[in-house]
Structure formats: C-alpha cells, structure tokens
A and B are shown apart, each in its own frame.
Chain A
Amino acid sequence: ELKVEQNPLFLSMQEGKNYTIYCNYSTTSDRLYWYRQDPGKSLESLFVLLSNGAVKQEGRLMASLDTKARLSTLHITAAVHDLSATYFCAVDNPYNFNKFYFGSGTKLNVKP
C-alpha cells in the first residue's frame, strides 16, 4: 500500500514568516498534487506536479517535486492570515491511475 506522510501535522506561524511543509511518499511516482481545504469545505486544487524537478508558484505558495527523493515541498513565503487552512498532498497510484493517496494534511494557522 502506497503511504503518503506529511509533516508537520500542525503549524502555527506569525504573519510575514516563511515555512515549508513536507510530503514524503513510499513508491515511485512522478505525479503529485497539492490541495487546500478550508474548515467544512471541499478540497481545492492548488498545484499539479508532473515531473522530477517540477516547480509551480502561485502567490505566496510554491510547490516542488523531487521524484528521486520521493519528496514534495510546499513553501509559504511571508504568510498572511488568509492562508490559514489544511493543506493536503496526494499521489497517484503509479500502476493504476484511478485513485489518489492522500497525506494526513497539515493544518496551518497564520496568526495576525
């Protein structure tokens, strides 16, 4: 069974600070997805990373993928309160594209 691990699980930070969320997975895959979930809401697609070395940026968030290390990072630059949410990474099953394996999520709280 493919395992996806995120850390930290909880992150409390001040506005203006930088931080990185890590996502490790247990099998070879070159497809990784980041989602955001606000409390009681659905999952919103943030980034799709489809190759080794892929880097995507949107506003204060930047995601990268290292398939050799089986690691993706989500970097937050100069955090603002609006970024408070739970962030999930997900990986395709490399042999069967029909399901995602999700990490446990990182609950981010940005304090004003």
Chain B
Amino acid sequence: EPEVTQTPSHQVTQMGQEVILRCVPISNHLYFYWYRQILGQKVEFLVSFYNNEISEKSEIFDDQFSVERPDGSNFTLKIRSTKLEDSAMYFCASSERSGYQPQHFGDGTRLSIL
C-alpha cells in the first residue's frame, strides 16, 4: 500500500539553526499538510498546501516557517531559526482530495532543539 515517507526520523539541532524536514507524499495525492505533536499532547495543524501554494495556515505557522514543493515528489517544511519550543514530532500528511477522505500520515520526524 502506498505510504507517506518522511526523513529524517530524528533531527537534533542547536537553537537558532535552520532545519528542513522532508516528506514524500503518496504519488497521486494533491493535498499536502504538516502537523506537529508536542510530546504527550494532541496533534496540531500547521499548514495545508495545494496547487503549489498554501491553502491555510495556523497561528503556529509564523514567519519562521515555510513550505515548498521543490519538485514533483518532495514536500518540505523549513524552520528558519529554531526555538526550544519547536521541539516536537512533525507529521506530514497527504490526501487525494480535500475533505471526505482521511489524510494519510507519515511516520513523523522527531525534532529536538538543544
């Protein structure tokens, strides 16, 4: 069964450094998402992306965050200057269309900011 793949599985970064999290969504999916989950807490929406532009973003997704689809397969989340509170599990998800379908999640990238 096709799946969403994320790399790396674990990223350790010094505070203030830039980090890029990578995702390969399911190939025929058109909608892409990033969520984060702080340890032990619920999953929070960050951003959705369709047709090469952001569809919606949350309050968490401030100017330090950006997303990009640099080619036909990858979908990236960049954090420009990481803070301690950015430490979380980041999940990429994709769906074939918007609404009425589950979003399919990758295994996540655990981001640890030191």
A→B interface (CB under 8 Å)? 31, 33, 35, 41-45, 48, 50, 88, 90, 92, 96-105
Contacts and interface: CB of A to CB of B under 8 A. Distances in A.
Interface stretch (B14-22, B36-44, B68-76): B36-44
A108 B100 CA distance: 27
A92 B43 contact: no
Q: Is the interface of A mostly helix, strand, loop or mixed?
A: strand
A97 B99 contact: yes
A33 B102 contact: yes
Interface string B11-49: 000000000000000000001010100000111110010
Instruction: Please indicate which of the listed interface residues B44, B105, B107 has the most CB atoms of chain A within 10 Å of its own CB.
Output: B105
A45 B26 CA distance: 15
B81 interface: no
Given A31-B99, A45-B102, A102 B50 contact: no
9 contacts: A43-B91, A45-B104, A99-B33, A99-B58, A100-B33, A100-B35, A103-B42, A104-B41, A104-B42
A99 B56 contact: yes
B102 A98 contact: no
Contacts of A99: 33, 45, 48, 56, 58
Nearest to A4: B42
Instruction: Please indicate which of the listed interface residues A98, A100, A101, A105 has the most CB atoms of chain B within 10 Å of its own CB.
Output: A98
Given A42-B107, A43-B105, A45-B104, A98 B98 contact: yes
Contact of B42 (A41, A50, A88, A97): A88
A98 B31 contact: yes
A62 to B, nearest CB: 17
A100 B101 CA distance: 11
